[in-house]
């Protein structure tokens, strides 16, 4: 199978899906209308609620939901073979992820920009709100703590990415000021991109690598401290000053990265050397079974609960017109899925162009099998990213870009997106925390009503978790819960959507089918995890798992009663 053929097939498929299924959802199911008032204008506070241009918000939304999720998930999911991973990414995004992201965005827009957790109380039952918000807070805590560690690890692993990533911040602030003055956002974003790529060239060829002094024996701890300070200020600043322009730059950086990879596929058009179905993985005791783990491992790119937190947490508060939600929500999910397809192609085909392994240059199927010969070698963060970065750099090298420069371009792209998820998650968690402490009149109780106090609580809790273990690895204590917890949020969000559609006298089947599928896979995975935690005598995770499973069952009972009653 040729990687270029699959890429073109997926691209055409996404366009058809948007034109047919996406437009059907927008016009027939949700009846989008620009006559409806948007919370960005109705509640405009100049900080979180700020009406903005469609293309700018698309950039923010995409870079927030993407992070490194559509890279690391497919990069490990391909161990079962490129075919099941490709099918899940392609079909999942069109019929599950796209609906999930768009529907939660539009429902929140029609309910004063409330998060999906707060919405659950309005749509299902008031008591549900606190349970859903608890699950959201736990998920966001893990995301924030883990990404602080991940970005620190990436800075250590790819020091050539340090200067460009930090240089992007003042560039983004400058871009935000130019846009505020009424100047062309596209023109000045191109200038910002040129400056960013010049900083990459300088970092690779002219400047020494940035090596941070270790704190408590680890430079990752040093980076984590710096990143938490950055996240505090970035997530409390008005969105139009840093968040929007930085994400706008990153969205254009993504377009360039996609174009560069596609050019590589056109020039090299590598044959896929990874197996379509990896029989070795299925017959090996070292690799877990595909069901249900693949559907939990590959989340971003197919369907991810974190996306509903982004849609209803920050994105909805900036959307200017209701009809923009289809492009931002459904279109953003399809673009992320296409990125996941490119990741699969870069690994399945690009990795076979050359992989340095134990002093030997491997090519073809040998390169894939060397990297994916066991679950242990493929599941680490470095291994996931290495497969994509090396494969992409090989594709870029096929038309003359030096390998060193190609790796730096892809590394900066990855770290920029990870940094975006870091401070966006911090803002979303702060907004969710403030919603928990609202009174009956909708007023937030003191002192949490102060965004600096609320953000300090959020950052402080994540930092405590991060530094519970040496090397800023405390978040890994809860990381085994993340995959199932993330997909649980997706299933619960779809449940809220289904009941909303019933209340509006619309057919809920479009939300119920993906909800049931994701819920089955998630509960299956949660039970497997619980058995594993008990076997390993990890009683803390076992207790948390039992609590989450119990709360999930309670939510299902309450939701089912409402569903059947309606």
> What pLDDT shows up at residue 418?
85
Tell me what the mean pLDDT of segment 340-350 comes to.
Answer: 90
Tell me what the mean pLDDT of segment 177-192 comes to.
Answer: 88
CB burial of 114-140 (b: ≥16 within 10 Å; e: otherwise) equals bbbbbbbbbbbbeebbebbbebbbbbb
Tell me what the mean pLDDT of segment 312-336 comes to.
Answer: 95
Plot region of 356 (φ>0 → left; ψ -120 to 50 → alpha; else → beta)? beta
How many angstroms separate the CA atoms of 218 and 345, rounded?
A: 35
Tell me what the mean pLDDT of segment 63-73 comes to.
Answer: 86
Pick the closest to residue 387 from 84, 57, 3, 73 (CA basis).
73
- pLDDT above 90 covers a percentage of the chain that reads 52
pLDDT band at residue 439 using 50, 70 and 90 as cut-offs: confident
pLDDT in tens, 360-406: 777 777 788 877 877 766 556 666 677 888 888 889 998 899 988 98
Tell me what the mean pLDDT of segment 26-37 comes to.
Answer: 94
Pick the closest to residue 423 from 227, 241, 248, 244 (CA basis).
227
pLDDT in tens, 206-236: 888 888 888 888 898 999 999 999 999 999 9
pLDDT in tens, 88-141: 999 999 999 999 999 999 999 999 999 999 998 888 888 888 888 999 999 999
> What pLDDT shows up at residue 380?
61
Of 44-53, 59-68, 81-90, 439-448, the one with minimum mean pLDDT is 439-448
> What pLDDT shows up at residue 109?
96
> What pLDDT shows up at residue 459?
95
How many C-beta atoms surround the C-beta of residue 440 within 10 A?
Answer: 5
Confirm if 150 and 157 have CB atoms less than 8 A apart: no
Q: pTM, whole model, 2 decimals?
A: 0.92
Q: Pick the more confident residue, 98 or 418.
A: 98
Q: Pick the more confident residue, 385 or 463.
A: 463
pLDDT band at residue 566 using 50, 70 and 90 as cut-offs: low
The domains of the chain, with CATH numbers, are 3-477 (1.20.1740)
Q: With 0-12 CB in 10 A as exposed, 13-18 as middle and 19+ as buried, what is 156? A: middle
Average pLDDT, the chain: 89
Of 19-33, 268-282, 413-427, the one with minimum mean pLDDT is 268-282
Tell me what the mean pLDDT of segment 324-331 comes to.
Answer: 96
> What pLDDT shows up at residue 469?
86
> What pLDDT shows up at residue 359?
66
How many C-beta atoms surround the C-beta of residue 560 within 10 A?
Answer: 12
How many angstroms separate the CA atoms of 250 and 418, rounded?
A: 11
């Amino acid at each position: 199978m040729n990687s270029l053929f699959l890429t073109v097939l997926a691209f055409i498929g996404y366009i058809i899906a948007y034109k047919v299924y996406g437009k059907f959802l927008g016009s027939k199911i949700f009846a989008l209308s620009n006559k409806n008032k948007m919370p960005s204008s109705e509640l405009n506070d100049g900080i979180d609620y700020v009406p903005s241009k469609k293309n700018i918000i698309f950039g923010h939304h995409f870079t927030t939901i993407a992070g490194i999720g559509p890279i690391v998930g497919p990069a490990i999911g391909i161990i079962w073979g490129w075919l099941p991973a490709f099918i899940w990414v392609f079909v999942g995004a069109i019929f599950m992820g796209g609906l999930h992201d768009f529907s939660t965005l539009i429902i929140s827009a029609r309910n004063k920009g409330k998060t999906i957790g707060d919405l659950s109380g309005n749509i299902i039952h008031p008591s549900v709100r606190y349970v859903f918000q608890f699950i959201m807070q736990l998920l966001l805590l893990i995301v924030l703590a883990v990404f602080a560690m991940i970005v620190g690890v990436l800075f250590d692993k790819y020091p050539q990415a340090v200067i460009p990533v930090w240089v992007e911040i003042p560039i983004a602030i400058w871009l935000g000021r130019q846009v505020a003055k009424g100047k062309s956002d596209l023109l000045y974003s191109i200038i910002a991109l040129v400056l960013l790529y010049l900083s990459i060239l300088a970092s690779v060829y002219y400047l020494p690598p940035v090596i941070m002094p270790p704190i408590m024996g680890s430079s990752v701890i040093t980076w984590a401290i710096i990143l938490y300070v950055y996240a505090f200020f970035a997530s409390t600043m008005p969105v139009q000053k840093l968040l929007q322009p930085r994400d706008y730059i990153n969205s254009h950086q993504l377009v360039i990265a996609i174009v560069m990879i596609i050019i590589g596929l056109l020039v090299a058009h590598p044959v896929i050397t990874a197996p379509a179905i990896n029989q070795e993985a299925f017959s090996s005791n070292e690799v877990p079974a595909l069901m249900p783990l693949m559907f939990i491992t590959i989340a971003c790119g197919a369907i991810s609960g974190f996306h509903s937190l982004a849609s209803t947490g920050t994105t909805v508060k900036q959307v200017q017109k209701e009809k923009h939600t289809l492009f931002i929500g459904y279109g953003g999910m399809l673009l992320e899925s296409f990125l996941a397809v490119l990741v699969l192609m870069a690994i399945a085909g690009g990795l076979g162009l050359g992989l340095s392994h134990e002093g030997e240059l491997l090519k073809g199927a040998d390169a894939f099998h060397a990297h994916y010969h066991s679950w242990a070698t493929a599941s680490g963060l470095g291994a996931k990213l290495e497969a994509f970065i090396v494969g992409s750099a090989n594709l870029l090298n096929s038309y003359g870009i030096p390998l060193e420069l190609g790796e730096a371009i892809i590394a900066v792209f990855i770290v920029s997106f990870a940094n975006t998820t870091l401070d966006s998650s911090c803002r979303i968690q702060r907004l969710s925390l403030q919603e928990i402490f609202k009174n009956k009149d909708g007023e937030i109780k003191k002192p949490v009503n102060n965004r600096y106090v609320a953000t300090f609580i959020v950052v402080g809790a994540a930092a405590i978790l991060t530094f519970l273990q040496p090397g800023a690895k405390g978040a890994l204590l809860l990381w085994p819960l993340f995959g199932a917890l993330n997909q649980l949020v997706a299933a619960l969000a779809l449940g809220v959507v289904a009941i909303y559609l019933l209340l509006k006298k619309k057919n809920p089947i479009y939300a119920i089918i993906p909800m049931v599928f994701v819920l089955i896979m998630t509960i299956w995975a949660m039970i497997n995890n619980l058995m594993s935690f008990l076997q390993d005598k990890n009683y803390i995770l076992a207790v948390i798992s039992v609590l989450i499973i119990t709360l999930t069952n309670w939510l299902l009972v309450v939701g089912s009663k409402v569903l059947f009653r309606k």
